[in-house]
Structure 1
Amino acid sequence: MQSNAHKHNTMKTIVSLLALLGFTSPIYGSTASVAGPDNAILIVSFLFLMGVSQVGVVFCAICRLVYAQWAKPFFRLAELSTMAFAPFAIVGFLLIFTYEKELFYWLHSSADAHLSGITASWLTSEGLLYRNLYALIGFYGLSWAYVWKGIKQDRTGTTESTEVAHRKVERQLYLMSPWIITTFVLCNTFIAWDFAMMIVPASHGHQWVSTVFPIHFWFGSVFAGTAALIAFPALLGRSANSPFSERNVRQLSTLVTGFTLLWLYFYWAQFFVVWFGNLPHEFEPLWRQMYGHYAGYYWTMISGCFFIPLTALIFAYFNRSTGWMCLVALSICIGAWVNKYLMVIPIFSEDARIMDHLGQLGASLLLLIAFVAAVYGLTKRYSVYSNWELSLGPNPDR
């Protein structure tokens, strides 16, 4: 009991220090002279956290579609993490929308300079607001219906045979899973267009358009969100009744290894069509991220998302170790955050420095703390595990 109390006090101390840093950083940062639009770093952090948190329910949908039995211990907490960020996502988008003159400057650009080849009616304030807001509401609404189906099985009884009832819900979740993935892709495609692709200034009379970019945008979130799931066995794996084992960690690491290769493919796919055409308006936005002032950020992203995880995960020792997997996941999340940073910041400043934005970093930390607190609050209301799914054996009909 004393050990648990000591751990609880230690955790409270750490959270208090993080909160103090979050509150004091804005005070310090407000005195610094910074370049670029207001709240750009906070917007980057918002996009990162929203994407990573949405992956919780998407991960469950993917694993249910492929019938991944090893993933069942992750399901409930992954689903709750998605729903915990829902109010932050919708309110955050509405707040960011009020700053459209800075981030969404392209809404007010002249048609001759910016709208070449693009339907002008799409580039309106109303269009921006409604397509993103409806997409967010649609995704989170469908996700809640999806999550609630599973929660009800743990909270209410049934007059049918227990296994028959569970198999019925299992089938319903299976049929809903493709729609969860579809709404996630649609929602994040809109966000990729409006928060990253459209902010690239028109060059040489052409707007920068990439059909691969939205895929790279949302798959980066899938990659980081899946890696971040290692936090669940790290936090819960030591308890006596924990369903997590070395097998779960090993299977997750195998999935992350595959996603590492897919991430590089989707990132590099942007360059294929650029090389064929070799047109300045196509390669300039990518070169801006890779060379000059932002070269260090670029190699940090590549190292965090590819070199470090691939080098580590080819060894079985790292695959089986929860501690090492946590470090790999941290590397991936840092790389994914820098990836979002490079999508936004270089557009507005040629030499921005992260340390010039301590105020926004502090606000980002507060957002992270609020998100973690929301997840913790949901775990007090709902079961941490999807017990009804854990009790089900493999379906003989599949």
Structure 2
Amino acid sequence: MHRSDELSSILKAELSPRAELPYLAAVWISLFTHLGLLVLFAVFEIWPMVAFNVLSITLFVVVMALVRRGWVRLGMVLALGEVIVHQILAVYFTGWTPGFQYYLPVVGALPLMLPRVSTRRQILSACVPGLVFVILIFTHDPAPPHPFPEPIAVALGYINLLLGFAASWTFVFYFRRGAELAEAQLADAVLRGERLLRGILPPSIVERLRAGEVVADSFDDVSILFCDIVGFTPLAEQKSPEALVRMLDEVFAGFDDLVAAHGLEKIKTIGDAYMVAAGVPEPIEDQAQRLAALALEIRESALAYAEREGEALSLRLGMHRGLAVAGVIGKTKFAYDIWGDAVNTAARMESHGQPGRIHVSAAMAEALGERFELHPRGEVEIKGKGKMQTFWLEGVQCPPVLAANQRGAAMISHS
């Protein structure tokens, strides 16, 4: 996955409102139940209940739309009110024996699962169906106006009791399933956030911050690389904003891969400038050699991009080795940053360099030893530093054995 695609996927990641699952299940159950009740009441010509069930089915379609759009509380208030009124009317018209009142304790559990509602309100809402159930016990008419035949009424009593249990189990299942899905999405969000955080800060720094430590370190010996795109301002004026950002993204993303391959630490980009450190946050013995190899590969990467895309792209690179201080700064948009003489001098090496060349200080040249091809530039007046002896890093020296073989082949060819 491309870096920008991965960032986009992280930014788009959201927790879905899984609290809606048990409520959608409740609405579906209620919808089909009321369709069946509509047929039942029509068969026995209990027309007031037929009319009410038509209204109920319409209401539950509206409730389903509300829940799907995230209006869970409003939808559940309407549904709860319908169920309470429905059971009161059903008991009034058909009596206690058919068992319609058994749905009241079942729906009493739904308010306890309402999202973003205080516990007190949840309990009060849950008590309403229970209170209605108790009132119906003492107030129902033993001789209702539209009773079912006795065998039908008894059968309905058992069916409604079983359906009440089934509805309760269904609510619990979907609530558990919703909780599992929410936990899985939360875990995925944590992993995405962790990946994003570790892309911003070094892993060891992340762990120190988690431990509550103030990250502020002093380093006696670090190596710093700065690189800058030559003539960036006129280049930017020739491109659309989209093309310019796409170019910088592709070029710097390639640099990021090279930095990771060498085990070094990208510190930041500043406009068209790119900064890398070696030896932070953990010291490494061959830091200068790794950084020099990286500088050569960055230069080659930029040349390859320029040739491939037909761009007039050239870099200035500078390196220095010395003292520095590093730490995490900021409360928002925080960053791991580094300051000190090594940083300032490396920046001066870059700004006083030449297009397409890698300008290094004497301290850096001494650290590189004989493994790299270095050409003296001589003394250069460096802003803020005075005259300094500097060098051009040209490439990697041939290993001694390979160099001897090349010299021998050259002599044979000459003879």
User: Given the two structures, how large is their TM-score scaled by the length of structure 2?
Assistant: 0.28
Q: Work out which of the two has the higher radius of gyration on C-alpha atoms and give 1 or 2.
A: 2
Choose between structure 1 and 2 for higher RCO, CA contacts under 8 A separated by at least 6 residues.
1
**More helix per residue:** 1
**More strand per residue:** 2
User: Given the two structures, how large is their TM-score scaled by the length of structure 1?
Assistant: 0.28
